[in-house]
Amino acid sequence: MIRSVSKSKPNVPVAPLLLILQLLMASSISLSRSLSLLRPRPPSSSFSHFSPFSSSSRTSLRNFRKSYPCPLWSSSFSFCIDHFRHHSTSLSLSSSSRSYPMAALSSSISAGDDSNPLLIDFEFPPFDSVKPEHVRPGIRELLKQLEIELDVLEKNVEPKWEKLVEPLEKIVDRLAVVWGMVNHLKAVKDCPELRSAIEEVQPEKVKFGLRLGQSKPIYNAFKTIQESTDWLKLSESHKRIVENQLKDAVLSGVALEGEKKDQFNKIQQELQRLSQKFDENVLDATKKFEKLITDKKEIEGLPATALGLAAQIAVSKGHENANAENGPWIITLDAPSFISVMQHAQNRSLREEVYRAYITRASSGDLDNTEIINQMLKLRLEKAKLLGYNNYAEVSMAMKMATVDKAEELLEKLRAASWNPAVQDLEDIRCFAKQQGAVEADNLTHWDISFWSERLRESKYDINEEELRPYFSLPKVMDGLFSLAKKLFGIDIEPADGLAPVWNKDVRFYCVKDSSGSPISYFYFDPYSRPSEKRGGAWMDEVVSRSRVLSRDGSSVRLPVAHMVCNQTPPVGDKPSLMTFREVETVFHEFGHALQHMLTRHDEGLVAGIRGIEWDAVELPSQFMENWCYHRETLMGIAKHYETGETLPEDVYKKLLAARTFRAGSLSLRQLKFASLDLELHTRYIPGGSESIYDVDQRISKRTQVLPPLPEDRFLCSFSHIFAGGYAAGYYSYKWAEVLSADAFSAFEDAGLDNDKAVIEIGRKFRETVLALGGGKAPLEVFVEFRGREPSPEPLLRHNGLLPATA
């Protein structure tokens, strides 16, 4: 996401910009890193002087995590959730001429129970067949077989690739396939029975993962490879795999013995349990709020799409005769409903009620996440101490490009540059509200900002986001997105519905083909909000990674499969899903993540696609793709009226482009607040001390929020990114990666966005580097290979309105 400071604001401080330039352009330091036998490198020494984009390796492979969500966009946007499920599902290739991914489950496993879909061989995951009653026996049988295979590996392990890495990948991958299916279904088709089953077997799964991560025979074999005379002969990707595995083992507690090891393992188990409970509480609290409205006067101002959705929800809740015109209507805290109320409802008391419900989700009663947060912060600190670090942020940074100091330095420079524009943003809204005769103009509060900023945007740019919806129907948006992918990356994307089982009738399945027409990957797309069973936000995750080892015929590779999940406005009546421009950006964002997974050229499964990439670099392709939403040819290709086929008028496009940095200072500051709060809680905060987590929130907000939060604000209780996702001490990554993504897009700007030949040439180069090389090469080296130099902050500052646009 690129959300920026408006270039129209005059009060942009110069000094902070110079400091940002100095910070981001510091010379890189190349260091060869070698882990000591069973001890992590002291975190305060060698990491402290790294430049932000040091070419030294800061890799990680944390048990095949990760799903990549969109960030917390703005005060009125849903919290995009990262599900950090510590898995990557993987399938193998069919031996037939058609290259279908296949699950590489061993015959011994599949023979256990042919009636359990978790244990049978399959072409694509049987999402439609897996039931809660399959989870307990399926996972336990799988773990039983994997324990046997791990025993065999440890007894026979040798420091050779085929005797170490290949059998290890097969073990991890099998668990990833099955656990990935189950956990994905929990995210998109939640129910009490599935929760209960997962809760019961998760400790057993975590126990196996700890045993695998702490295996000294495996660790010592990797160490022997690193210290051998053949080390220099290994390919770069093989070296990355070895270094990743050694670092992962240390961070998994391989160095610990006796009571410390037992304590570490108990902490890991409890953190898993608490994280899952946190996530469930947020989902349940979101579902719990429903406001039935029978008087249309109470919802005046809501656009037709919002009224239709509210009536559709009412029908689903038993109000059979509900309709958009006469109601009744039900308002929820799910993103499409919540955003519509905050932006358009003229009823100020309704906005207040909905806003207060939203910021206090999961903060009271049986769903209160307060104590869960306290426990998680306490346990993370204990874990860090056991591993020899000062705080959990240092543990987190061991797997990233940045250091704590460099991340905080960048955030502060950006905060200083964003503050005055954000102050001006609020003043602009107040002045406009006053001009409109709003009685609340002199006392604007949080439930007024989205409403009046939307009115100001409409007035200033003559753009009404709701009036744009008919131009952004989902089918047209996807067609335009696929056309862009064909132009830039030389791929064709074709519907393949029916080829793979799906978990909901609205889920689409696609095949990605290269220029010769051969399949190279597949992906699922689950676009619509389903608040009764599907968690909020938007994310991408891998279903299958590319892998040579897990191909069936031993020669060709297994093809990658991804899934993209969004929560956008569903179709209402006979109309297709009509999207807001923000929802369009979200689809482009998640598709960028999926492309990096699907277009990988690496055949080594442990570093293929999104695996092994430093966390603070993973947002490069996603944020890069967002830029194309403002590209004239691309936008005009997707913006077709769903009824008439009329293209978006040229003057409207220009207004949309001009409005790109509207309230950018405020939106930037909001992101910086989340990142700063995250780092503060994981560095200096003392769990159980004199200051509560909410005290910390209020303190950080004094320098990151122009309008202070309400005293009762409990946003932290739904901050799933850091308490139920992979962004603990890592939310800064969005800003860190913005430097990379903005500079990458500037390569196209420099060549001329209207120069088709140059755009195609650079697009192919982006594919062959950023999208193809995966975790097999350090991200800075990948960027330099694409751009021809190290990253520059100038494009980011320019896109954010902090520098004048180039001629």
Catalytically active residues, by annotation: 590
Residue 590 CB neighbour total at 10 angstroms: 27
Q: What is the DSSP string of 124-162?
A: S--TTT--HHHHHHHHHHHHHHHHHHHHHHHHH--SSHH
Quickly tell me which residue has 């604000």 as its tokens.
Answer: 713
Coil, helix or strand at residue 473: strand
What is the Cα–Cα distance from 552 to 284, expressed in whole angstroms?
42
Q: Which DSSP string corresponds to 17-58?
A: HHHHHHHHTPPP-------BTTBPPPTTTTTTT--TT-SS--
Read off the DSSP letter of residue 278. Answer: H
Q: What amino acid is encoded at 2 in this protein?
A: I
Is the distance from CB of 214 to CB of 252 less than 8 angstroms?
yes
Whole-number Å distance between alpha carbons of 769 and 54 = 18
Which of these, 117, 78, 533, lies nearest to 341 by C-alpha position? 78
Q: Which helix (H) or strand (E) holds 508?
A: strand 508-513
| Residue 579, SS3 per DSSP | coil
SS3 letters across 712-763: CCCHHHHCHHHHCCCCCCCCCHHHHHHHHHHHHHHHHHHHCCCCHHHHHHHH
Residue 611 contacts residue 545 (beta carbons within 8 Å): yes
Instruction: Name every residue whose Cβ is closer than 8 Å to that of residue 326 and which is 6 or more positions away in sequence.
Output: 296
Letter for the amino acid at 24?
L
In this structure, are residues 398 and 43 in contact, taking their beta carbons and an 8 Å threshold?
A: yes
Contact 682, 391 (CB under 8 A): yes
For residues 733 and 619, is the Cβ–Cβ distance under 8 A?
Answer: yes
Q: What is the tally of helices (H) and strands (E) in the chain?
A: 28, 10
Torsion of CA 68, 74, 75, 76, to 10 degrees: -90
SS3 at position 654 = helix
CA distance 310 to 316: 10
User: What distance in Å separates the CA atoms of residue 330 and residue 347, rounded to the nearest whole number?
Assistant: 15
Cβ–Cβ contacts within 10 Å for residue 4, how many? 25
Q: Is it true that the peptide bond before 328 is cis, omega within 30 degrees of 0?
A: yes
| Integer angstrom CA distances of residue 102 from 123, 580, 772 | 4, 37, 22
